[in-house]
Structure formats: structure tokens, C-alpha cells
Structure 1
Amino acid sequence: MAIFEKGILGGFSGKVGNVVGSRWRGKDVMRSLPQRGKYTPTPKQLEQREKFKAVILFLTPIISVVSLYFGNRQGDKSRFNIATSYHLKEAVVDSPLGYVIDFTKVLISKGDLRGLDRGAVSAAAGQTLNFSWADNSGQGNASPFDELIVVVYAPDLDTFYTNLSVDTRDATSGSVTLPAFMAGFDVEVWASFNKPDTNLAAISTYLGRVTMV
């Protein structure tokens, strides 16, 4: 890049031949066009691209959840960026089908709120999932009015179900009804608590795989 003083023609903006003119920090500058060459990514770069693709495909449908409840923004890093970074490092595994998500390592939320104690889930008729947990209100920053978050994923359908307000912590139980087309399919289930009207949430709990009735 070169800086030039205005001559009889003054500065210019745009491309002339293989030179590009522009303004940079109040000065007229020229730079040559980048040379195009053949670029072959390394095996490590290809691996990282495939991992990134797996994570983005998984997280994008629940961006509304992780963007609210996954940690705290860090400078120009959004909560979704932070969630992506975590899952790239912790939740991607190699398989005969390529890189896939390890559901046991997935977090739908990550924060300092007290999480579930003795959380459990079971399937019932009518595409219903029944949840139970212990009321640990008063432990740490846990409140009776914290709300249960539920995220359900059906891998064979590549479909999510989310509910950010199933019931309150002190209720100790709650249920959700999934769409009828999920009947008979296996689903992966995660749950957490959030504090209403804030971005504060718990580290989510993986409750396991359930076959819908």
C-alpha cells in the first residue's frame, strides 16, 4: 500500500488497471490488486470446516434460546458466538457419517443460576413429556419463581421443540405436548432454569433420550 499526495488529477477511488485507489484515515492510498492463486486447504482446515458446519446446522434452529441464555456477551462476541465456540470444542465427535453432535455434551444455556436437582423426564400418551425436579429454591440464587426451559430435538426429523416457560421451580413438575408428527420418534431432551425478565440462566441438564408414545 502506498500513500500519495494529490497531484494535478487529485486522489481517486476505484480500480485502474491493477491498482485500487481509496481513502484511508483521511489519506489517499493506492494498493495493488491481490493476486489470485490456487489454494488448497489443509486436512486440519477441512476438518475444522466440517466441525463448524455441524455445529451451525445444529444451533441455528435454537438461536433464540442460546442468544438469550448462553453466558454473557464478551466484547463483540455474541452469546451465539460463545455457544458456537463451546460446541466446537466440546460437543463435536467423528463418526462413520462424518462429524456429528454429541448430545450428552450439548448445553442450551450456560450461566450462574442454580440448575436442576434430580431432574427427570418421561413420555406419556398424546406426545406428552412429563418433567420432574426437586425444589431447590433458596439455594444460591435460586428463586421459587424461576422458570423451566425445555428444548427437545428429534434427530430423525431434524426438528426442535422449545418452551421457555414450562412451569416455576417450586412446582417440581410440568409437562409439554409435542407436535403430533413426533409420535413414535426418539427425542433428545435438555432442561434448564431462567430468571424471568433477565438473561440469567443455569447450566442446562441433559435429561436423555426418550421415545415418544
Structure 2
Amino acid sequence: MGSYRKGILGPFRGKVGNVIGYSWRGKDLMRGLPKESSVAATEAQLEQRAKFSTVIKFLRPIKNIVGTYFGKEQGTKSPFNLATGYHLKEALLPGTDDTWLIDYPKVLISRGVLRGVDNPAVAAGGAGEINLSWTDNSGQGSADATDKMIAVVFCTEMAEFVEFNPQGTRADGAAVLKVPLYLSGTLAEVWMTFVTENGKQVAISSYAGSVTVP
């Protein structure tokens, strides 16, 4: 991989011959195309690819949240890279026929040092509504009443996410999450977290539970 400020015709994107041009963190970069291998992948390699594919497919739709709130950059690893690594190690369950499943209670949508969530719970509300509740722990440690609450709902049967960013504050103790009515009758997994009002500190998220969308 090589970086450059001015190519022959300036920065470019995509493939030109056997070179690919792209941008990464504000830098214009080039790399050669990988050589095709004639060696068959091992069982361990195939397993790792299947795991990686499962995690990326799950996280990509909520990249704007995990890519912002999953810790801080560590060298070349972005928050989204860190989230991917965590879920590969901690949030997968073996399925059938060499497939992998997301272990929903182990999922994290954020990771930080802010005081987290106490007693999160979900319950069915009105049509298309999920009632989310928690204990207001404002004033305990780093917790502030104005901390913003962020929630993510994943309707498993439709493989569809609904984000609530933000949806009230820590002091509220409860929120009504309104999801599209076409998701009624589906099972939803719910996670929540807190972020400071200035967005600089975030808590480790909590799994609030699962509920059938009314």
C-alpha cells in the first residue's frame, strides 16, 4: 500500500489496471490487486469467514452508532473495527450447517466509561409501540440527568433495525419507541445506552430484552 498527494491525473478511486485507488481517513492511498490463491481455504479459514460475514451483516446497518460510540480509536482500529472484533469473540452462537447466529444478550451498541443503565426493561405498548424503562440513576458516579438515551430495536424476522438517537434523557426513566406498523407481530430485540449531552462520553450499552411488537 502506498500513499500519494498527486497522481498523474490527481487522486482517483477504483481500479486502474492492477492498482486500486481509495481514500482512508483523509489520505489518498493506492494498493495492488491481491493475487488469486490456488490453495483451497482450510476449515478454520472458512469458519472465520462465516463468522465475519455474520457480524458485518448485523453491524453494518447501525454503523453510524457503533462507529461513533464503540470506544476510541486504537492505532489503526476504528470504533467500528473494535465493535467487529468484540462481536466476533463474544457475541456469536453456532447455528446449523456451519452457520453462525448473533447472541443478542451479548450484543453491545456502545462501549465507554460513563455510568451505565440500571434495570432496563421492555414491554408491549400500543400498536407499533415498545415501552422501554430504566431506573434513573442520575447523580451516581458520572451519571447526569441530561445524558441522552439512545436505543436500537432489531426486528429479527424482518432483519430490520430501527434507531432512536436520541430518545429522551437518563432522568426520564422511560420512553416509548415507535416502530413502523408493518413490523407489528414480529419479535424485537432491544438495546439502550447513555451518551453525555456533549457526546464526548458514552456508557457500555445494556440489553433491555425482547418483546413482540404489538
Q: CA 1:141/1:45 → structure 2, altered by over 3 Å: closer, same or farther?
A: same
Residue 103 (structure 2) aligns with = 102
Decide which moves more: 35-44 or 49-58.
35-44
Residue 201 (structure 2) aligns with = 200
Q: Is the 8 A contact 1:185 1:211 kept in 2?
A: yes
Give, in whole Å, the separation in 2 of the partners of 1:117 and 1:180: 29
Q: CA 1:46/1:36 → structure 2, altered by over 3 Å: closer, same or farther?
A: closer
Instruction: Specify the SS of the correspondent of 2:145.
Output: coil
Q: Is the 8 A contact 1:146 1:195 kept in 2?
A: yes
Residue 93 (structure 2) aligns with = 93
Q: CA 1:210/1:96 → structure 2, altered by over 3 Å: closer, same or farther?
A: same
Residue 44 (structure 1) aligns with = 44
Give, in whole Å, the separation in 2 of the partners of 1:167 and 1:35: 51
The residue type paired with residue 44 of structure 1 is: A
The residue type paired with residue 69 of structure 2 is: Y
What are the residue-to-residue correspondences of 1:1-213 with 2, within 5 Å?
Answer: 38-96=38-96, 98-213=99-214
Q: Is the 8 A contact 2:120 2:207 kept in 1?
A: no
Q: CA 1:37/1:112 → structure 2, altered by over 3 Å: closer, same or farther?
A: closer
Q: CA deviation at 1:196?
A: 2.2
Give, in whole Å, the separation in 2 of the partners of 1:115 and 1:68: 17
The residue type paired with residue 70 of structure 1 is: F
Residue 8 (structure 1) aligns with = none
The residue type paired with residue 94 of structure 1 is: P
Q: CA 1:38/1:211 → structure 2, altered by over 3 Å: closer, same or farther?
A: same
Q: CA 1:175/1:35 → structure 2, altered by over 3 Å: closer, same or farther?
A: closer
Q: Percent sequence identity over matched residues?
A: 43
Q: What is the CA deviation profile of residues 131-170 of structure 1, one whole-angstrom value per residue up to 9, with x for unaligned ones?
A: 2111111111110000111000011101000111111111
Q: What RMSD in Å do the two structures reach over aligned CA positions?
A: 1.5
Q: CA 1:163/1:39 → structure 2, altered by over 3 Å: closer, same or farther?
A: same
Q: CA 1:38/1:174 → structure 2, altered by over 3 Å: closer, same or farther?
A: same
The residue type paired with residue 149 of structure 1 is: I
Q: Is the 8 A contact 1:191 1:205 kept in 2?
A: yes
Give, in whole Å, the separation in 1 of the partners of 2:155 and 2:35: 47
Q: CA 1:171/1:37 → structure 2, altered by over 3 Å: closer, same or farther?
A: closer
Give, in whole Å, the separation in 1 of the partners of 2:200 and 2:61: 19
Give, in whole Å, the separation in 2 of the partners of 1:82 and 1:38: 31
TM-score, normalised via structure 1 length: 0.81
Instruction: Specify the SS of the correspondent of 1:148.
Output: strand
Decide which moves more: 157-166 or 198-207.
198-207
User: Which runs of no fewer than 5 residues in structure 2 stay unpaired?
Assistant: 1-33
Q: CA deviation at 1:36?
A: 6.4
How many residue pairs align between the two structures? Answer: 180
Q: What is the CA deviation profile of residues 78-108 of structure 1, one whole-angstrom value per residue up to 9, with x for unaligned ones?
A: 0000000000000111111511111111001
Q: CA deviation at 1:37?
A: 5.5
